Structure 1
Amino acid sequence: MKQQAESKAEEKKLIVFLDCGDTIIDEGTEIRDEQGIVIHGKVIPGADIMVRTLAERGYRLALVADGDAQSFKNLLTQNGLYDYFETLTYSEPVKASKPSPRMFKAAVGAMDLSEKDYSRIIMVGNNLSRDVRGANELGITSVFLSWTERYPKAPADDLEIPNYTISEPQALIDLVEALNLQLA
């Protein structure tokens, strides 16, 4: 009973949604099979530490990513990260891609949250037109991981302007802690 109370006290208010490609996994290292399913890929330096640290500190994590479920299962399992996520929301079964609100709402529903929780969710991703725009349209805090040159770094319009920008995955740990304190 005491242990339950302690773990409850450690539960954080902030909820973290993470993209996968070029946010956790380096898309440049991905190897695909003949069906286009990713069968191998390496984590971005520090991304595995970021995911583990956030989970160990009591943050609820959700993967919100465009692509095939099997690709993400392969990547997260082989890199030892699959079990750190409370839910995994992929565009394939949702039948929509970011910035569609359906992607974000599917993750919100899977975590038994509602619209009133949007103010305590952050979406972290590498793509201004998908991750940032989708989060901003719903009033979810957007965090742009400006790690790669593969995607544009200049917002096309106001909806693509992130609330926060970080340049490497481990910078997310301090940002999440600071944002969580603001919610307390």
Structure 2
Amino acid sequence: MNRAILFDLDGVLIDSMRCHARTWQEAIKTQLNIEIPEEYFLINEGRNSKDLLVAVIKEHQIDAEDDIWQKVSDYRDHLFLEAFTPRLVNGAKELVHLLHGFGYRLGVATGSTQQVVEELLSKTGIRDYFSALVTSEDVQFSKPHPQPYQLLLQQLQVRPEQALVIENAPLGIESAIAANLICLAVTTTNSHEVLADASLVFPNLSGIGKFLKKELEKTMGNGAWSFKSLFEVRHAS
């Protein structure tokens, strides 16, 4: 069975977005003397460090060296790994266990670095469920560009109609749609209204698990089946 579920990492699997936001705030304040509200990082989740920092520097018209983003990013990663105690979003382990047991191929596409991703997945005990990872080092363009999910499809050897994305941020949803993928969203860090472009929005991961379990059981053995057949319109509410 060639069916895959493609996950964002932070805020979908790992309960880390608040810590990401706080450590980004501290790093940018320390290195660039700029104060950024927490909401900025929640809305812009999915961008890699370079894209995020270049945007911040441009928006605040800071005269900085070309490689300052790397210095700030490295400092931020250090702060994050020191401050964060890895923990899963409620229902994450149950969901990946359920989907893996049903034969779904699982992958992650994230704007985080390889080091951070491997450490978080390993320490939370779910690394072995995932056949493919796409991190910030693997792509030229970060979300909302489709490249992260396009590359993940290639690694998992599935077509867009055979895969579905689970996201929690608008840039990730935009990336999934641009890659011609159906996207479900979960309101762990952003409101239903912010995530309205997803095909369906759920309040938690257990709801997504029940939905996918039901659909898989109904369509078992159906060779013509596709995720897109579940939705009459692309952006159903």
Classify the TM-score, shorter chain: 0.7 to 0.9
Q: Kindly provide the CA deviation profile for residues 157-184 of structure 1, in whole angstroms up to 9, marking residues without a partner as x.
A: xxx6111111111222122234434527
Q: Is the aligned partner of 1:70 residue 2:115?
A: yes
Task: Pick from 175, 180, 193 the counterpart of residue 134 of structure 1.
Answer: 175
Q: Is the aligned partner of 1:124 residue 2:166?
A: yes
CA distance in 1, matches of 2:215, 2:148: 23
Task: Pick from 95, 103, 109 the counterpart of residue 140 of structure 2.
Answer: 95
Q: Structure 1 or 2: larger strand share?
A: 1
Match of 2:193 in 1: 154
Q: Is the aligned partner of 1:167 residue 2:219?
A: no
Could you say what secondary structure the match of 2:157 adopts?
A: coil
Aligned-CA RMSD value: 2.4
Q: Please tell me whether the aligned partners of residues 134 and 152 of structure 2 are also in contact (alpha carbons under 8 angstroms).
A: yes
Could you say what secondary structure the match of 2:77 adopts?
A: coil
CA distance in 2, matches of 1:109, 1:176: 22
Q: Please tell me whether the aligned partners of residues 29 and 42 of structure 1 are also in contact (alpha carbons under 8 angstroms).
A: no
How far does residue 155 in structure 1 lie from its aligned partner after superposition? 4.3
Q: Which amino acid aligns with 2:139?
A: V
Match of 1:105 in 2: 150
TM-score scaled by length of structure 1: 0.78
How far does residue 14 in structure 1 lie from its aligned partner after superposition? 3.1
How far does residue 138 in structure 1 lie from its aligned partner after superposition? 2.5
Match of 2:6 in 1: 17
Q: Kindly provide the CA deviation profile for residues 97-118 of structure 1, in whole angstroms up to 9, marking residues without a partner as x.
A: 11211111110111123xxx21
Q: Kindly provide the CA deviation profile for residues 17-73 of structure 1, in whole angstroms up to 9, marking residues without a partner as x.
A: 000111011123569784515434211111111112211221110111111111110
TM-score scaled by length of structure 2: 0.62
Q: Which amino acid aligns with 2:148?
A: M
* Structure with larger Rg: 2
Q: Structure 1 or 2: larger helix share?
A: 2
Q: Which amino acid aligns with 1:141?
A: I
Gapped runs of 5+ residues in structure 1?
1-10
Q: Which amino acid aligns with 1:88?
A: L
Q: Which amino acid aligns with 2:164?
A: I
Q: How many residues align?
A: 164
Aligned residues with identical type, % of pairs: 18
Could you say what secondary structure the match of 1:170 adopts?
A: helix
Match of 1:143 in 2: 184
Gapped runs of 5+ residues in structure 2?
24-73, 220-224, 227-237
